[in-house]
Amino acid sequence: MANQATLILIKPDGLKKSLTGNILTRLSETKLEIVAAKIARASKELAEEHYQHLKDKPFFKEIVRYICGELHNRRKVMALIYWGEDAITKCRQLAGSTNPEEADPTSIRGSYGRITTSGVYENVIHVSANEADAEREIKLWFQPDEVIVNLYPTKEVAGKERKIKTWA
């Protein structure tokens, strides 16, 4: 099995519950390499794009609000790319099933997830489901310069001269 990349998001409930360390510790069992990491904010547009495959589901609006941080008053996620052999299966295995009540209780979602009274699966972590999703999602959440390996082909485009912010 060749090296794969997968997008991991520690969702707003994971951050609010102060689970960042616990989740990263669990993921370190995979012995995969972290090749990008940041705290990021999902705009509504980014969230809708991220969950585009679920846009016809009755819970679509709520999961968009969830990943944007509106359910937790914590408008951020931690976004990481894990890279290595069989990364997607390894990370999804550790994350556990989508429904946290059905997830293996020793998995990340089984340990820390819950179903809210309004029916949202709050499952603390996102892991890309397959290689095509991983590529699509990584390109949504990260720019090439933010990743320390070359995952996908890039191109140079002539930018309009623009101001960049630097430390004063």
Contacts with Mg ion, residue ranges (CB under 5 A): 129
Nearer to ligand IDP, 122 or 147 (CB): 122
**What's the token pair of residue 38?**
């940041």
Residues numbered 38 to 67 that lie near ligand IDP (CB under 6 A) are 54, 59, 63
Torsion sign across C-alpha atoms 147, 60, 100, 88: negative
Residue 121 binding ligand IDP, by CB under 6 A = yes
Q: How many CB atoms lie within 10 A of CB 98?
A: 13
58 binds, among ligand IDP, Mg ion, none (CB under 5 to 8 A by kind): none
Which 3 state secondary structure label does DSSP give 141? helix
53 is known as an active-site residue = no
5 binds, among Mg ion, ligand IDP, none (CB under 5 to 8 A by kind): none
Listed ranges 75-83, 120-128, 142-150, 157-165: which one lies at the site for ligand IDP (CB under 6 A): 120-128
CA dihedral (53, 148, 75, 24) in degrees, to 10, reads 90
Nearer to ligand IDP, 65 or 144 (CB): 65
Residue 126 binding ligand IDP, by CB under 6 A = yes
**What's the token pair of residue 21?**
């360390």
Rg of the chain (C-alpha set): 16
Q: Smallest Cα–Cα separation from 138: which of 151, 153, 148, 122?
A: 151
Residue 112 binding ligand IDP, by CB under 6 A = no
Catalytic center residues: 126
